Structure 1
Amino acid sequence: MPSTTRTLVSALAGAVGVAAHGYVENVVINGVSYRGYDVTNFPYNPNPPTVIGWSSEATDLGFVAPDAFQDPDIICHRGSENAGGYAEIAAGDSLFVQWNTWPESHKGPIIDYLANCGDEGCASVDKNTLEFFKIAEAGLIDGSSAPLTMADSLLEENGMGWMVTIPADLAPGNYVLRHEIIALHSGGDLNGAQNYPQCFSLKVTGSGSAQPEGVLGTQLYTAEDEGIHFNIYSPADSYPIPGPALFSGFSPVEQASSAIDSTGTATVGDGPAPTAAPAEPTGGNDDGAASSEAPVVTEAPATTEAPVVPSATATAAPTTEEAAQPEPTQDTCALKKRSKKARRHAHKHGKVARRV
């Protein structure tokens, strides 16, 4: 495609999608939904709830451009600050990252990282010191025609959500999950890629011992990386996913939607890093911590009678905080739209992203 034509297509795609950029509104762990940071509401709320999502100043639902890759904004999004709480998950378990929406034109890879916060916990760690190691990545799905079909298509097929598995052999501790979509509709132009990082605080339990080495957030990418400066408007046999190499414990994850059985609130307080789980099986989510560290769960009507199953819709039940601070009408409409879309795809089998 001629350069001028590609640039025009990129500009049109950006203009159409600018008002539809999304954010992660909740994370589902074993059927329990935890709120993310609602950037359309919390910045204007004098008393926002404590959640597991790191805050952001991107109230325009904007992005981080390649010329800011060495700026702290690339770590967890623009002006991000530590989440006040965390959610607990066992090593080897999966979680479902639920976006409120995502524009179809914004095609690109989806990448997930973890960084160990240390014994002090993630609520007080300096984000500039976090060293991220990659635990999952998905890029090109179908390169036979243009524009290319990328990982975001699987997100859209599964109710605007993405499944992530915590490595089974990961050492227990306090971690930041860095989940990111890189939109490449303008990637053919230098500085045209758009990064949308989102961060969440987790406490990982288990008996693993792996402590992967990581990379500072400001060193993950450069503007000249092949997978950043990349044209999706020409057929391709492969796509070089940017960032450091995958952690050796990586295994492909079947992408599917997730049911919500109840809603949970973030656990507040750092405390020491969790110790290894007892030898006797505990069901995968109990690290033997005191009850005060366990997530406070409020039962809510399940969206399906089954527990976490791939074919269910991932629509979060309202939390107490939501009742106190009503969400804007636009978000409500988006949720309804996404719920309908998730049901249309509920009959499909989960797909595994092909890394090329």
Structure 2
Amino acid sequence: MPVSLERLVTITGGVLEGDGNHLVDGVATLHDAQNHHVAALTNSRYKREVEKSSAGCILVAEKDAEGLDCNRILHPDPSLGFAMVSRYFNPPRAVVPGVADSAVIDVTATVATSAEIGANTVVGANAVIGEGVYIGPGCMILDNAIVGESSRLIANVTLCEGVEIGTHCLLHPGAVIGSDGFGFANEAGKWLKVPQIGRVVVGNLVEIGANTSIDRGSLRDTVIGDGVKLDNQIQIAHNVVIGAHTAIAGLVGIAGSTTIGSHCTIAGEAGIVGHLQIGDYCHIGARAMVTRSLKERSNVSGGVPAVESGLWRRMIARLRRIDAMADRISALEKMKK
């Protein structure tokens, strides 16, 4: 439904410059936007794209707005403003209460009347499905699992026994929550399985990407804090604790009993060994291998092992000069001869 820019700026915040009565009904890139779209300039390098854009309104930082001749919303963080606009125009589809004919619901399970249960879903004994929950097709909600209010499991998600999902969470296809942790004891050269008797407890407003696996605790619970965002194909081992509002990119592996603080960012393919303490507000770069605990606000990059980012950049700069240095050493050796 079209909305005026005057109304839109009350959603995004910021300052509107231009025609407040202009109507928009969606979002697009600067390149693709038409007169009824909102676009955003999130990087000063693309300012020339604004001049060629047909967008009906552009979200832009005040420092980049000079010389622009278009409807615009001056925003301290255009990326955030654009996200707000996109969420406004693209809400999730409404939950349609009911249970598909092919779903199997244990007689001891509790399913809210406002929940939607998709085709071929199984809900086990004493499981609890909260108000406004969406369970898509092919999901497995095993015994004693809990799904909190307004959470969504898109399709083929597995919640193993006793898993607890908070409110307003989003779990993408193929996620497996609460499978056994990798726990074995060596008995005369053979591996003896150690029962994994903890749970996985997921907080509120958590998003878990496709094919991500979170193992149940061996004794204590594996815990994912409120607001955590997990990308696709992440492995989180038993007893791990992840603090609130930490974001982790794809293919990260976190070994058992590591605690990660709040508001951390972990880039793709990073690895973190077990039994570490990662402080709040840390950043771990792509493909970094973290083998030691990190203090609050640490910033590490590189390969094996990860080191402080500034040191890593200096090391790389020196590596790039290594051929020239070798030539100079060779020349000096010849002079000595």
Q: TM-score, normalised by structure 1?
A: 0.23
Higher strand share: 2
Larger Rg: 2
Q: Which has the higher contact order (CA 8 A, sep 6+)?
A: 1
Q: TM-score, normalised by structure 2?
A: 0.24
